[in-house]
Structure 1
Amino acid sequence: MSPARSAGLDLLKWLAMATMVADHLRFIWPTAEWLFIIGRLAFPLFCLAIAANVARSAPGQMFTAANGRYLGWMLAFSVLSEWPYHVLDVGTGTLNILPTLTLGLLVAWGVHHHLRAMRWVALGTLLVALLASDVLMYGWPGVLLPSAFLLALHGGRGTWLVPGFVAALANLTNHWLRTNVFEPITLMTAAAAVVAAPLGMGVLRGHYAWRVWRVGRWGYLFYPLHLLLIKLLSL
């Protein structure tokens, strides 16, 4: 992929944030179960955005200032978002979404960059994900999802099926969904997760005649702030 600014990537990030906000609006309207289904698009779209960012760098060019900043921002907001996340979702048993995405970034780097050190980092990260799966949102399959998208970006037609399957598996780390696998909402959840893959890849690869507003580093701050805002609105 071109290292130039991608309108498709920015549009993908906007779609991911919009579906994430839709999901969290359930804390204001608990009876709106359809928002939960829309929200299942968000995580796969964020994972695809990570894969697209990783794919924009040349294999082997891992230890750069840009990658250092990228990891630093992810780690910082993994910590800063934890309190707002638990303020909004009091009964949750998992960490916020950013630790899963950060671990997914490390594994994707190991897949993309043909460096022995990064392969060991990826293997170690995957081991951590397996051991900590119960406290990670979307569990170990969620950590693998950016890498599944990365492979799909380099593949041919139909390769979206792999990240689609992994996205559906990641949703089944939810205890209620896993124990009620044939309930309509579970089936719709899995379908939304699968559909997110071709939808996101279509958005990413699209050609746009209009200007897409850039999603910059303010996007990291958007996550904890929107959690607190929705909490205030729900009171």
Structure 2
Amino acid sequence: MQNLWGIMHGTETIPVRRVRDGALDLLKWLALLCMVLDHLRYIGLSLDGLYVPGRLAFPWFCLAIAANLHRVKDASPTFQWRYLGWLLLFSVISEVPYRMFIADAATLNVLPSLALGLLVARGWQQKTLFDRGLALIAVAIAAVFSTHLMFGFFGVLLPLAMLLVFRRPWYFSLLPGLVCVAANQWHVLLESANAVALSGLVACLIAPLAGLVLLRHAANASPPAMRRWAYALYPGHFLVLLLIRQLIA
């Protein structure tokens, strides 16, 4: 995942540098942790409060993808399309473990949403006819099949929204924050009107800013590097949690 997610560091704006940044690796690990915490709600225990940190996972994955796009925008097409291939491959691999763990899932796993989001953001960045065409196709797919995609239409737009704030002051993170809220069925959360739902809304709104602040101020962090093997953590964690659920049942 190192090549997929890129590296980012800045002060008042958000420039990207082409060397490994421990802050970005830390963001990846925290996004993975938040995802696992979110999915712990399905192991059979009363853990509804984990919904709140779970709202940080998807926007932080989108932020990392946007960071990588910004870093490799001048790389060769082969170098760039490799990332899309890994996403598509593990989209297929992950679907069975995902449905084994969440039997009543109403959407596909999260990787197709990320893959479409990558195409949309790259089309805006590259500005070639081919890339723009693929981006339009991705937007059309997201619009038509929104109910089948995790985080729906707005989830596909979130990597682009993240990319748009890279050279803007920090307060522009409100834009991806609003897109993130829209991707998380804000009307359902408002209708619920309980502490967990409202806290989840707040988490969605501030997740992009929190991720950008982390990338700015944790440059000296040195967590283990996430490389391509980390793609396997997505389907693998479903199988581990499924085993835990069977053991405690």
TM over 0.5, shorter chain: yes
Q: Does 1:73 align with 2:89?
A: no
Contact between 2:124 and 2:132, CA under 8 Å: does it hold in 1?
Answer: yes
Specify every segment of 5 or more residues in structure 1 that has no aligned partner in the other structure, as ranges.
Answer: none
Contact between 1:62 and 1:109, CA under 8 Å: does it hold in 2?
Answer: no
Aligned partner of 1:40 among 55, 70, 86: 55
Q: Does 1:24 align with 2:35?
A: no
Distance 2:37 2:59 in 1: 15
Q: Does 1:164 align with 2:165?
A: no
Give the percent of matched residue pairs that are identical in Structure 1 and Structure 2: 41
Q: Does 1:184 align with 2:195?
A: yes
Distance 2:192 2:174 in 1: 20
Q: Does 1:229 align with 2:237?
A: no
Task: Give the stretch that moved more between structures: 216-225 or 112-121.
Answer: 112-121
Deviation sequence 1:89-121 (CA, Å, 0-9, x none): 011110000000000000010111122221121
The 1:231/1:113 distance shift into structure 2, 3 A limit, reads same
Distance 1:127 1:8 in 2: 34
Deviation sequence 1:212-235 (CA, Å, 0-9, x none): 210111110000001110001001
Contact between 2:189 and 2:201, CA under 8 Å: does it hold in 1?
Answer: no
User: Aligned residue for 2:18?
Assistant: 3
Number of residue-to-residue matches in the alignment: 231
Deviation at 1:206, TM superposition (A): 2.6
Contact between 1:167 and 1:194, CA under 8 Å: does it hold in 2?
Answer: yes
Task: Give the stretch that moved more between structures: 196-205 or 89-98.
Answer: 196-205
Aligned partner of 1:134 among 119, 132, 147: 147
Specify every segment of 5 or more residues in structure 2 that has no aligned partner in the other structure, as ranges.
Answer: 1-15
TM-score (norm 2): 0.88
Deviation sequence 1:153-201 (CA, Å, 0-9, x none): 121231100000000110017x8x3582534332211111112111101
Which stretches of structure 1, 4 residues or more, deviate above 6 A after TM superposition?
none
TM-score (norm 1): 0.93
Across the aligned residues of Structure 1 and Structure 2, the Cα RMSD in angstroms comes to 1.7
Q: Does 1:145 align with 2:155?
A: no
Deviation sequence 1:4-36 (CA, Å, 0-9, x none): 222221111011001001111112253111111
The 1:42/1:207 distance shift into structure 2, 3 A limit, reads closer
Q: Does 1:107 align with 2:120?
A: yes
